[in-house]
Amino acid sequence: MAKLLYHYCKNEKRRKRMTPEQIDSIVEIGFSYMLASQKTAPMAFALKTLDIFRDHKPWIEEELQAFIEKKLPNSGAGFQSAVRQIS
């Protein structure tokens, strides 16, 4: 589901039609995936999705950066690659 959400959100035309409430829901789902996921792929797609909306509210960038700093030292190559893609 995280992959589907990412591919839906990366389309700029779709993002422009989203309401702030929809974006808030997507951000909430993205953080839920990142916190709950044991696998790298859903976590990476959630990370990329949150990166799309990092300017929506100021706290998103802060929380995203804190999560990356916490996870990066003990993460695998897939997560590190996703972090490089958004940096």
Express each pLDDT in 9-46 by its tens digit.
999 999 999 999 999 999 999 999 988 988 888 999 99
Cα distance between residue 63 and residue 75, in whole Å = 18
Mean pLDDT estimate for the chain: 92
- The answer to whether the beta carbons of residues 74 and 66 sit under 8 Å apart is no
pLDDT tier at 78 (50, 70, 90 boundaries)? confident
Range of the domain at 60: 2-86
The total number of structural domains that make up the chain: 1
